[in-house]
């Protein structure tokens, strides 16, 4: 069986143990910047995969529903949703601005709620089940003295995931929901921290020390 899904991943690897490989997956790659979604599609195609690009604003429910509808219209079914959306903020509990806190919570948490809200009915209708993966963070488990809003949002993603999983189990929807909690990854969002020195440590060494 081939999987059709909506994904926000930058890299797609090989899948094993009965799960479709990257070449078998059919994906809709979405990003606020449509050009970045197109770039990711080209990466997938270069490895033999199949994907389409979709530009959208995940903070708008209409756009979230439109993305799910576009994937189903194109592929005929929806098997998985990968919620990999996030922005950062380094403010502490004392100096974080309320408007920045609300912005981080909207982008990092509310978007996953909106996409899951519309993906679940589509999975039930078109595939009789499916899988949702929400990308949280190591900071959603351990917290930090800085980045209060980011830590709170990623902790919320973890609990949202549990709620979705329990709801789907209670309703017998045959839909799994799991969260992934990666450490620091060399991305544009982390780039400035990697380039900076902290005391007598490089940014990379300092970030590695923060892992539990």
Residue 119 has pLDDT above 70, yes or no: yes
pLDDT of residue 184: 77
Predicted pLDDT of residue 1:
31
What SS3 class is residue 82? strand
CA angle 149, 150, 151 (to 5 degrees): 95
pLDDT, residue 21, reads 58
Is it the case that residue 64 has pLDDT exceeding 80? yes
Beta bridge partners of residue 50, listed in sequence order: 26
pLDDT(18) > 80 = no
Residues 126, 79: Cα–Cα separation, whole Å: 8
Give the strand pairing for 80-83 and 130-135: parallel
Least confident among 25-29, 143-147, 198-202:
198-202
Rounded to 10°, the helix 98-105/148-170 angle is 30
* Catalytic residue flag (residue 150): yes
Q: Nearest CA to 86 among 107, 55, 105? A: 107
Secondary structure of residue 53 in the 3-state scheme: strand
Which region holds residue 148: left if phi is over 0, alpha if psi is between -120 and 50, else beta?
alpha
Taking 80 as the threshold, does the pLDDT of residue 7 lie above it? Answer: no
> By CB neighbour count within 10 A (0-12 exposed, 13-18 middle, 19+ buried), where does 78 fall?
buried
What value does the mean pLDDT take over residues 12-20?
40
pLDDT digits (tens, 9 = 90+) for 30-40: 999 999 999 98
What mean pLDDT comes out for the span 43-61?
91
Write down the catalytic residue from 101, 146, 150, 184.
Answer: 150
Phi, psi dihedral angles at 76 (to 5 degrees) = 90, -10
Task: Grade residue 15 by pLDDT with cuts at 50, 70 and 90.
Answer: very low
pLDDT per residue over 156-205, tens digit each? 999 999 999 999 999 999 999 999 998 877 777 777 777 777 778 887 77
């Amino acid at each position: 069986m081939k999987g059709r899904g909506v994904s926000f991943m930058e890299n797609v690897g090989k899948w094993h143990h009965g799960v479709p490989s990257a070449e078998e997956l059919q994906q809709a790659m979405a990003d606020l910047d449509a050009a970045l979604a197109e770039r990711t599609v080209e990466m997938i195609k270069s490895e033999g995969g199949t994907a389409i690009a979709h530009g959208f604003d995940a903070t708008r429910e209409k756009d979230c529903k439109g993305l799910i509808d576009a994937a189903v219209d194109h592929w005929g079914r929806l098997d998985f949703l990968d919620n990999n959306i996030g922005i950062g903020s380094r403010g502490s509990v004392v100096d974080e601005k309320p408007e920045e806190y609300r912005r981080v919570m909207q982008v990092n948490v509310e978007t996953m709620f909106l996409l899951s809200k519309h993906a679940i009915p589509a999975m039930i209708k078109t595939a009789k089940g499916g899988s949702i993966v929400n990308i949280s963070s190591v900071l959603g488990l351990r917290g930090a003295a800085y980045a209060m809003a980011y830590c709170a949002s990623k902790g919320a993603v973890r609990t949202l995931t549990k709620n979705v999983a329990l709801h789907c189990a209670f309703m017998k929807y045959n839909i799994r929901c799991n969260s992934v909690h990666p450490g620091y990854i060399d991305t544009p969002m982390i780039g400035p921290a990697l380039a900076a020195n902290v005391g007598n440590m490089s940014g990379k060494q300092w970030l590695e020390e923060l892992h539990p």
